[in-house]
Amino acid sequence: MASTGGCAPELFRRGLLEGRALAFAGGGEAIEATCAALGASTYRFEPGEDEDALHGTVASLPSLDALITESGDLDHVWVATRAVVNAALRPAGAGKVLFVAPRDDASVRAAIENLAHTTSIEWARYGITTAAILPGEHTTDGEVAQLAAYLVSHAGAYFSGCAFTLGFV
């Protein structure tokens, strides 16, 4: 698989994410392309959008099953997460939030890992699970996309509060 990860990995069956609606905030283009190739409907939110405006945008969508954030800006991550959780996931009584940390900022990586753990406890009563992917310096975008696709699938629903570290020996 190419390092950009823009196609459905052979690891998964076709249609794995059929019927799943995923929101993306921040980067995550390779993850979005992989998930779309596996059948997911995708929506993209721009980093830095006002929380009230974002909440309105999310509330106007038919439904969402998961949010995937990939940003080194924790404020943007939290604004998008809170808007999607409050407008879509909590009212639906289920959903997944997947945080993808930057490769090169140890403090943001630690904060993302902590955010996944803490929110998994706080939001369990709403049926919302959270996880974090912590890619290493040599981890390809395709590897991150494959793990993300698994985690937002029905099979990945089991994992909550987990941080998956990739590419470290």
The three-class DSSP label of residue 28 is coil
pLDDT digits (tens, 9 = 90+) for 74-109: 999 999 999 999 999 999 999 999 999 999 899 999
* Across 61-69, average pLDDT: 93
Terminal C-alpha separation, the chain: 21
Q: For helices 51-59 and 74-84, what crossing angle results, to 10°?
A: 40
From residue 2, how far is each of 39, 129, 141 by CA, in Å? 20, 30, 8
CA distance 160 to 59: 24
Q: How confident is the model at residue 9 (pLDDT cuts 50, 70, 90)?
A: low
Average pLDDT, the chain: 90
CA dist 20 and 152 (Å) reads 9
Look at residue 67 in the predicted model and tell me its pLDDT: 97
What is the spatial distance between Cα 81 and Cα 112, in angstroms, rounded to a whole number?
12
H-state helical runs in 38-169: 51-59, 74-84, 90-92, 106-122, 141-152
